[in-house]
Amino acid sequence: MHDQVVTIHHKEPRVSTFDLYERLGYKEHRALKRVISENRDHFSEYGFLPLEMQKPPKGSRGGRPDESYFLNENQFTLLVMFCKNSPGVVEFKVKIVRQFVKMREALLSLASQRQNAEWLATRNTGKEKRRVETDTIQKFVTYATSQGSQNAERYYANISKMQNKALFFIEQKFGNIREILNLQQLSIVICADEIVTKALDDGMEREMPYKEIYQLAKQRIEQFAEIHGKTLIPASLRRQIQ
């Protein structure tokens, strides 16, 4: 199980019972959920209590998707009052409380960042460059299809993943990673978008095989990343922002 379990869910810090039950001493996920369902009125006093389908975390005992509660900070605090303590469990509880604090601080920082005129201007420039890149990818998809590709549409996602992997240390997925980048990271992404656009255009102009064009773009991005280095996406904002 990964160490960071507090995530952004419906735009607020929450923790999934999937990520809690084993570390709180429960052998089965449903046993921890039963504690919540039997005291649902108390938990609901502290806000909306989502129960949503979720795939179990990699390495956990469960292998099938199951419904998981997503608890806010107050609901988590209430939950731990029902749980038995052991040295390991107490240490884990303290760790989660710290994660909630860091998450709140990160969200405040992001809110402040989005009010910064320079950040907003750079983000808008990035959106324009991204649209140009997307238009070029669309041409590339048509180009690849004409050469026999059966899954050319995947290049929209694959190219984005390739860029993000080369430029950033990311442990989990984001809804839109560009919304949480700092000013320097945004500037790097803008350059990366231009590099990909140029590589795709160059490859198609030279009538290269589509697979080689993708490799050309990947090679140029990796060279660019070697120069600037990879940077860390804030660990407190892991997973998808919904």
How do residues 77-127 score in pLDDT, each as one tens digit?
999 988 888 888 888 989 999 989 888 887 787 788 888 999 999 999 999
Report d(CA 43, CA 63) in Å as an integer.
27
Nearest alpha-carbon partner for 20 in 76, 62, 85: 76
The residue type found at 92 is F
Q: What is the pLDDT of residues 129-151, one digit of tens each?
A: 999 999 999 999 999 999 999 99
The DSSP letter of residue 85 is P
Lowest mean pLDDT among 59-68, 117-126, 189-198: 59-68
Q: Does the structure show a pLDDT above 70 at 234?
A: no
Instruction: Judge contact between 235 and 168, C-beta under 8 A.
Output: no
Count of Cβ atoms closer than 10 Å to residue 173 Cβ: 12
> Residue 147 has what pLDDT?
97
The mean pLDDT of the chain is 87
Report d(CA 66, CA 160) in Å as an integer.
29
The most confident of the ranges 113-117, 158-162, 232-236 is 158-162
Q: Give me the percent of the chain exceeding a pLDDT of 70.
A: 90
Count of Cβ atoms closer than 10 Å to residue 144 Cβ: 23
Rounded to whole angstroms, what are the CA distances from 128 to 24, 159, 167, 191? 47, 17, 20, 12
pLDDT band at 128 (very low <50, low <70, confident <90, very high): very high
Q: Does the structure show a pLDDT above 80 at 197?
A: yes
- Note the pTM of the prediction, 2 decimals: 0.68
Which residues does residue 9 pair with via DSSP β-bridges, in sequence order? 12
> Residue 62 has what pLDDT?
54
Report d(CA 216, CA 211) in Å as an integer.
9
Q: How, if at all, do strands 168-169 and 51-54 pair?
A: unpaired
Lowest mean pLDDT among 7-16, 84-93, 99-108, 168-177: 168-177
The DSSP letter of residue 3 is S
